[in-house]
Chains A and B, each alone.
Chain A
């Protein structure tokens, strides 16, 4: 049973470009969470989604960031017009239902030049 999958594992973008991060949850998991981890800082919750619905986006910046989890395909975290401060590790986690343990993917390391 494959775990949570994220791609790409590393992503380099220049300022002003768009970054698209993908997350495929574990089989049987319908709940996806996105976190950001800045160097030397803790994990910060960004958004929680179920299939086709954003349930809680209270941790996501209001501008430039968006997330989706379509009926078919992976969840996508999209960052428009990236800035250097967006450089971080972005982790996706999934769970079979709310309240269950969250299992993390390997993360995407975003570097903005």
Chain B
């Protein structure tokens, strides 16, 4: 059974700082990776997806993938209080098939004004 692990946090950063969230997964065949944000009491919303080794940037968010080391990270630059949420990492159970995602438990991020 594939496993996806995240530090539960809470990760606390001051406003304007860079928040770094990490996710490791248990096998080497995973091809696609997803970061979702979930506010308390709300549903997950997609932040970024990444498929290739290296960095992918979208606004203040950067996803970094290292398949050899089996980790994917999410960097949030210029953190804002509105970024305070739980960040979920998801990996498909089977390579090439995104229908069943395996989810980490999430990292709670608190951005302090």
Contact = CB atoms under 8 A, between A and B. Distances in A.
Interface string B76-113: 00000000000010100100111111111110000000
Contacts of A103: 46
Contacts of A105: 43
B44 interface: yes
B98 A98 contact: yes
Interface residues of A, number: 24
B100 A58 contact: yes
Nearest to B105: A42
B45 interface: yes
Given A42-B106, A43-B88, A101-B34, A56 B46 contact: no
A106 B43 CA distance: 5
B43 A104 contact: yes
A33 B99 contact: yes
Interface in B32-85: 34, 36, 42-46, 49
27 contacts: A31-B99, A42-B103, A42-B104, A42-B105, A42-B106, A43-B44, A43-B101, A43-B103, A45-B93, A45-B100, A45-B101, A48-B99, A56-B100, A91-B43, A98-B99, A99-B96, A100-B98, A101-B34, A101-B46, A101-B49, A102-B98, A103-B46, A104-B36, A105-B43, A106-B42, A106-B43, A107-B42
Interface of B: 34, 36, 42-46, 49, 88, 90, 93, 96-106
Given A43-B44, A43-B88, A56-B100, 8 more contacts: A43-B103, A45-B100, A45-B102, A59-B100, A91-B44, A103-B46, A104-B45, A106-B42
